[in-house]
A and B are shown apart, each in its own frame.
Chain A
Amino acid sequence: MLISNTLLFRALILPISIFSCIGRVNAQQSFVSDQKYEAYKKRNQQIAIEEFLKLDTTSGSLLWPNIDPVLFFSNIRQNIISPDKINQGHATNFCGYAAMTHLLIKYHPDIYLDQIIKLYRNGSAPLKKKNLDPSERVRNAAGTLKNKGELDILHADQLWFLSLADEFKGYINIFDHKYHPGDENKIWAGTNYAKFNKMLKEFTDDYLRRKGSDFIRPMTGDFYEYISKQLELGIVLLYVNSKHLYPHKFSLFKLRAPTHFIVQYEMYKVGDQIMFRYWDYGLKTEQLIPRKRLRKLIFGITTIDPQTGS
C-alpha cells in the first residue's frame, strides 16, 4: 500500500528557505592534512612519470596470462597521475589494499612503479624484509575479475590488490590462506589493523604512529582533538566501522567492529557537528557527523610522515 508523506516534502523545501543562514556557517579552524607535502609529492610524481615514459608499454608478460598490457599500462599511468581515483571495486574486501596503494602512489609513486613493473616482468618484487611473490593461482586470476565496477578494466589494480592479499596474511586470514575464484569478496582478502601497518612498513621507511586495535578503540581522549593534532603532523589513516560511516536504522543491531580503511584529509567543527573529509572508493567524501558518532566510528588511527624516510 502506498502511503504519502508530506514531511519529506517539508524536509526538502525547508532548507531552501533558510539559505540566508548559509553564509554564517560557524566553521572553526580547519585541520588539513596533505598540503605541506605538495612539493614532495610533485617531485616524486615527476620522477615516476619520467621513469614510466622510459618503459616498454606494449609487450605482455607470460607470467600474467590474463593481463592485457594496454589496460595494465594505462592503469599505471592513470594511478600515478591521479592517485585519488584508486578504487577497490564493487563488493570486494580490498579496502585495506586500496588505502595503502592510494598512500603509496600519492607520496612514493616511484616505489610503486618500480615494484609493480618488477612484479609484472619477473613475477616477484623485493620489499624491505620479504618478497612480494604471488602464487600461480593469483597470477592466473589477475585480469579476470568481473562485476567489480571500474576494477573490471583496471588490470594493474587487479594484479596489485590480488598480489598484496596473497602475500600479506594476518590472523583474520588464518582459515582461508589459498586463493580460490571469488575470494576477493571473502575473508581471504580481509585486512586487520596490524596487517595494514605492516604493509606500510614493508614498502616505505615512513615514520608511523599507531593508536588502536581491531577490538578496542584508541585511548587518546577526545578523538576530534587528537586527530586534529595528527593532521598537523602527517597523513592520517583511520580504521573505522563503516556502519557508522553510512548509518541507517534498518537493522536491529550494529556489530561493534572495524570494517573499513579511509584516509582522513580534513576536519573542522560546524556548530556541534564535525565536517569530515576523507578518501575512499576513488573519491574524497564530505559529510557532517556528530561528535558522538566519531567516537563510535574509529578503531585505529595511524599517522604517517612520508618525508622521514627520504
Chain B
Amino acid sequence: MKIICRYIIILCLSGFAACMAAKNRKTASYYRENKEEIEALRKTYDQLYNHQPFSAGFTDKSFRYYVMEVTTDSLRYIFNSEKNRRQLGEVIKRFQYDTTALRNLSNMLSDTKCLWLSKSSFYVDGQRETVTYLSFNSATTESPFVENKYYILIFLPHPITHPDIKKRIQKGDLIKIDELVYYTIGNRYR
C-alpha cells in the first residue's frame, strides 16, 4: 500500500512539475536578454553560410555532439561528431570552411544552447525571401518534465509588410520582437 501511495505521489509531483514547466516559456524577453550572443552567432553563421550553405545544431540534450548538414545544388551531406567524426572533418575540409569561424560558431551554439541553426525560404508575390532561424528549447527551466516545444527565432533580411505575413502575426503564429525579428513556438525544431 505504501509503495502504491509513493507512486501516486511521484506521479502527481511529475504532473505538477510538467504543468509548471509548460508555463515558463521563453518569450521576446529571452531574445532581448541574450541579444548580443545571438546576434554574434547569426553573423558568424551568415559569413560561413555565404561560403557554402549549411545547417547545424545538436541532437543530444548534453550539447556535446553536433550535426552539420552541408548542401550543394544536388547533394546534402549529413554527418555528426558523435559517430561520423572523420566524415564530418572530410566535408569541412572539402568545402574549405574557415575552421576558426566554425569553431567560434560551435562554441556560441553550445553557450546559447541553440538546438538548430538554418535558413528557410518562402515566396511573397513571387519574390523569394530567405530567413535565418534559430531553435531553442521553449521552456526556460531545465526540468526533465518539459513538453516538447521549441522556441524558434526568425530573422528577416528586411521588413515584410505583405498581408499574408500580417495575417500570420494576427493569428499568433508569429510574434513580433522588433522590425526584423520574430519568434514562434513550434513542435519541430528543424
Write the residues of chain A forming the contact surface with B, with a CB cutoff of 8 angstroms. Answer: 2-5, 7-9, 11-16, 18-19, 21-22, 25, 84, 90, 146-150, 152-153, 246-252, 270, 273, 283-288, 290
Q: State which residues 136-169 of B face A: CB under 8 Å.
A: 137, 148, 164
Q: Given the complex, which residues of A lie within 8 Å of B87, measured CB to CB?
A: 270, 288
Contacting pair A8 B122 (CB below 8 A): no
The stretch of B2-10, B23-31, B43-51, B56-64 in contact with A is B56-64
Q: A15-B85, A149-B122 are in contact. Are A285 and B76 (CB under 8 A)?
A: yes
Q: Which of A8, A150, A152, A286 contacts B75 (CB 8 A)?
A: A286
B107 at the interface (CB under 8 A from A): yes
Number of A-B contacts (CB under 8 A): 129
Q: Given the complex, which residues of A lie within 8 Å of B83, measured CB to CB?
A: 273, 288, 290
Q: Is chain B's binding surface mostly helix, strand, loop or mixed?
A: mixed
Q: Given the complex, which residues of A lie within 8 Å of B107, measured CB to CB?
A: 4-5, 8-9
Contacting pair A284 B86 (CB below 8 A): no
Contacting pair A150 B121 (CB below 8 A): yes
Q: Given the complex, which residues of A lie within 8 Å of B64, measured CB to CB?
A: 5, 7-8, 11
Contacting pair B103 A9 (CB below 8 A): yes
Q: Which of B59, B61, B65, B164 contacts A11 (CB 8 A)?
A: B65
Number of interface residues of B (CB under 8 A): 49
B90 at the interface (CB under 8 A from A): yes
What per-residue 1/0 map shows which CB atoms of B49-83 lie under 8 Å from chain A? Answer: 00000000011110111100001001111110101
Q: Which of B79, B113, B122 contacts A152 (CB 8 A)?
A: B122
Contacting pair A285 B75 (CB below 8 A): yes
Contacting pair B110 A4 (CB below 8 A): yes
Q: Which of A3, A152, A283 contacts B71 (CB 8 A)?
A: A283
Give 29 pairs: A residue, B residue, CB < 8 Å, sorted on A: A2-B111, A8-B64, A8-B81, A8-B109, A11-B64, A11-B85, A12-B81, A14-B85, A15-B85, A16-B89, A16-B93, A19-B89, A19-B90, A21-B86, A22-B93, A90-B122, A147-B164, A149-B120, A152-B123, A248-B58, A249-B61, A252-B148, A270-B87, A283-B71, A283-B76, A285-B75, A285-B78, A287-B79, A288-B84
Chain A residue at smallest Cβ distance from B75? A284
Contacting pair B75 A149 (CB below 8 A): no
Q: Given the complex, which residues of B lie within 8 Å of A3, measured CB to CB?
A: 110-111, 113
Q: A12-B103, A90-B120, A286-B75 are in contact. Are A153 and B59 (CB under 8 A)?
A: no
Q: Given the complex, which residues of A lie within 8 Å of B81, measured CB to CB?
A: 8, 11-12, 15
Q: Which of A5, A246, A270 contacts B63 (CB 8 A)?
A: A5
- Closest approach, in angstroms, between the C-beta of B69 and any C-beta of chain A? 8
